[in-house]
Chain A
Amino acid sequence: RKEVEQDPGPFNVPEGATVAFNCTYSNSASQSFFWYRQDCRKEPKLLMSVYSSGNEDGRFTAQLNRASQYISLLIRDSKLSDSATYLCVVNARGFSGTYKYIFGTGTRLKVLA
């Protein structure tokens, strides 16, 4: 089982739609959580951190459920420019005992006109 799992998609949605992505993680000792966005042939860029109480940034809402070990990203009123791959990132303790960022495979979103 992968340490961080995401549905690879693609999710094809019309403009204006609301879309949600989930990500599950296996290490219950994970400390911090992030969503990154990656455009085609570009580097990943931080979209938002995910806090225990949930957080919102404009059209984007991130939530963390520690009991069920998943995080989610909700995008409201999708724009064409939201088309990208969304990477779930978990900061978890590795076998060496140190913490490291573990990326999911990413979920591809395509917003259609």
Chain B
Amino acid sequence: EAGVVQSPRYKIIEKKQPVAFWCNPISGHNTLYWYLQNLGQGPELLIRYENEEAVDDSQLPKDRFSAERLKGVDSTLKIQPAELGDSAVYLCASSGNTNTEAFFGQGTRLTVV
């Protein structure tokens, strides 16, 4: 069974440019998470979806970040415009429901220069 798939694996952009990340969760997983991980830190939740509904986006910087999961399956996370401080690893995870373990994709390593 395929795991959580993310693309791209790496992205280098100049500041003020837009960038988008894509995630395809494990088939049948209703819950999808986007996390941000800085070096030496644990993942921090940006947004959580239950099917197509964003049920927790309290940590998402909405002035520049947006996310969607239109059909309740795959999801995109966008940053526009990117800032130098956005350089980090963006991890997508999915789980069967909110109480079961989450499985992570390999992440997208973003570098803003």
B77 contacts partner chain A, Cβ-Cβ < 8 Å: no
Q: Which of B42, B45, B56, B101 contacts A49 (CB 8 A)?
A: B101
Query: Quick check: A96 and B58 within 8 Å, CB to CB?
Result: yes
Q: Which residues of A contact B (CB under 8 A)?
A: 4, 8, 31-32, 34, 42-46, 49, 87, 91, 94-96, 98-106
Query: Quick check: B105 and A95 within 8 Å, CB to CB?
Result: no
Query: Quick check: A32 and B40 within 8 Å, CB to CB?
Result: no
With contacts A31-B99, A43-B91 known, is A98 near B48, CB below 8 A? Answer: yes
With contacts A43-B107, A94-B58 known, is A106 near B98, CB below 8 A? Answer: no
Query: Quick check: B41 and A105 within 8 Å, CB to CB?
Result: yes
B103 cross-chain contacts in A, Cβ below 8 A: 46
A-B contacts counted at CB < 8 A amount to 54
Besides the known contacts A42-B106, A103-B35, A105-B40, 11 further A-B residue pairs in the complex with CB atoms under 8 A apart: A8-B40, A43-B91, A43-B105, A46-B102, A87-B42, A96-B56, A99-B98, A100-B48, A100-B98, A103-B44, A106-B42
Q: Chain A: which residue is nearest B3 at the CB level?
A: A43
A31 cross-chain contacts in B, Cβ below 8 A: 99
| For the complex of A and B, 8 pairs with smallest distance between CB atoms | A103-B42, A43-B104, A46-B101, A105-B42, A103-B43, A99-B98, A98-B56, A98-B55
**Complex Cα–Cα for A94 and B56 (A):** 9
For the complex, count residues of B whose C-beta is within 8 A of A: 22
Query: Quick check: A98 and B40 within 8 Å, CB to CB?
Result: no
Please indicate which of the listed interface residues B33, B41, B91 has the most CB atoms of chain A within 10 Å of its own CB. B41
With contacts A87-B42, A106-B42 known, is A100 near B101, CB below 8 A? Answer: no
Q: Chain A: which residue is nearest B35 at the CB level?
A: A103
B56 cross-chain contacts in A, Cβ below 8 A: 94, 96, 98, 100
With contacts A98-B98, A99-B98, A100-B45 known, is A44 near B58, CB below 8 A? Answer: no
A106 cross-chain contacts in B, Cβ below 8 A: 40-42
- The smallest C-beta distance from B99 to any residue of chain A, in angstroms, reads 5
Interface string of B61-94 (1 = CB under 8 A from A): 0000000000000000000000000000001000
**Complex Cα–Cα for A49 and B104 (A):** 15
